[in-house]
Amino acid sequence: MGEPMRVGVVGAGNISHQYFRTLSTLSSTEVVAVSDRDLSRAVAAVETVPGARAIPLDELLAADDIDLVLNLTTPEAHADVALAALASGKHVYGEKPLAARPAEGAAVVEAAEKAGLRVGCAPDTVLGTGIQTARKIVEDGMIGAPTSATAVMACFGHERWHPDPEFYYRPGGGPLLDMGPYYLSALVHLLGPVKSVTGVGSRPRPTRTIANGPRAGTTFQTDVDTHITGLLEHENGALTSLIMSFDMAATRSSNIEVHGTAGSLIVPDPNKFDGECTLRRPGEADWSAVPPSAGFAEAGRGSGLAEMAQAIAEGRPHRASADLAYHVLDCAYTLLESAAQRTTLDVKSRCEVPPLV
């Protein structure tokens, strides 16, 4: 590979530090600038990124020494920042979801296609050894033909730990759009695209109270459903039962299980890059661990960006693609609309499943 992809980061919030740690270890990328609407946060961030400068957004977009914008803003700003970066001739890699709404996501995809630029999107956890090994198990036929899956994300709300959690409870947030992309992306890797959904949702607590940080004790309104139950019908006929909740204190359910005609598989947490896959077949007394056999080892937040940079250099499609991210966003919003209408709805979009790592 030639020169590293020069990256300008927009958004210096909590998640940015994980990206900085990963990108600092890679030769395929170089962080050269950081911007934030609160420029003091960008100034603090570049103290941990040797050689990077803190600059306003308009300067970052106009800079000639930036090839790609890493978009780490809150969901409602994802599309605006992505579109501005594309208009300035820069590739984009963003945090999930692709945009706060499907129409905005579609606009980003269309703008990239017209400009001949790339758009990538988290989560890249699905490219780690955990989900990729699970996928290889399924593709190798070790559980037979997949027939069903369960996916459960349970927590009691991000206001318990996040100092500024309001955006999780505004449009573009909620458990399905915040944590759902990890699970939905993993399910697409494991079982393929989704063709229809049926959902119900609820909002048990109309207000939330911040528990930590300088704003502890501050109460704010909940503007989205915080518990979603859904049924996904995949194109291959497999059915997934999905629960995404900010209203469950704990659960003993596996994060994801996939069941087939010849066995069952417990899949690691899709919010992590690694984890143990365990397999059980009919007649066996217990679950057996399956050693890692696919995926990026020792990956971290930003591995998908690095893979995208390498794909651009090699002239091939990248794995954390905009098409996959848009399909995941479309699935989530169609599920929310299904819950509002109390009916089954078709998912209009489709995507190619990226190659196994």
pLDDT at 171: 81
* Residue extent(s) of CATH 3.40.50.720 domains in the chain: 5-121
Q: Does residue 142 register a pLDDT over 90?
A: yes
- The second-level CATH assignment, the architecture, of 5-121 is 3-Layer(aba) Sandwich (3.40)
Q: How much is the average pLDDT of 83-110?
A: 97
**What is the pTM assigned to this prediction?**
0.94
Over range 268-274, report the average pLDDT: 98
pLDDT at residue 41 in the model: 96
pLDDT on residue 173: 85
The string over 130-168, giving b where at least 16 C-beta atoms fall within 10 Å of a residue's C-beta and e elsewhere, is: bbbbbbbbbeeebbeebebbbbbbbbebbbeebebbbbb
Start and end residues for every CATH 3.30.360.10 domain found in the chain = 126-295+328-346
- What backbone phi and psi angles, to 5 degrees, belong to 94? -125, 160
The CATH number of domain 126-295+328-346 is 3.30.360.10: yes
Q: What is the mean pLDDT of residues 297-321?
A: 96
What distance in Å separates the CA atoms of residue 227 and residue 334, rounded to the nearest whole number?
Answer: 15
pLDDT at 14: 87
Cis geometry, peptide bond prior to residue 175 (ω within 30 degrees of 0): no
Computed over every residue of the chain, the mean pLDDT equals 96
- DSSP codes joined into one string, 223-277: -S-SEEEEEEEETTS-EEEEEEESS-S---S-SEEEEETTEEEEEPPTTSS---E
Distances (CA, A) of 247 to 203, 204, 244: 9, 8, 9
Is there a contact between 97 and 322 (Cβ–Cβ < 8 Å)? no
The percentage of residues in the chain with a pLDDT greater than 90, rounded to a whole number, is 95
pLDDT in tens, 10-45: 999 989 999 999 999 998 999 999 999 999 999 999
Predicted confidence (pLDDT) at residue 1 exceeds the cutoff of 70: no
Would you state the pLDDT for residue 122?
97
pLDDT at 105: 97
Quote the pLDDT of residue 3: 87
- pLDDT for position 184: 98
Does residue 64 carry a pLDDT above 90?
A: yes
Please write the tens of the pLDDT for every residue from 183-219: 999 999 999 999 999 999 999 999 999 999 999 999 9
Q: What is the pLDDT of residue 282?
A: 96
**pLDDT beyond 80 at 2:** no
pLDDT at 302 over 80: yes
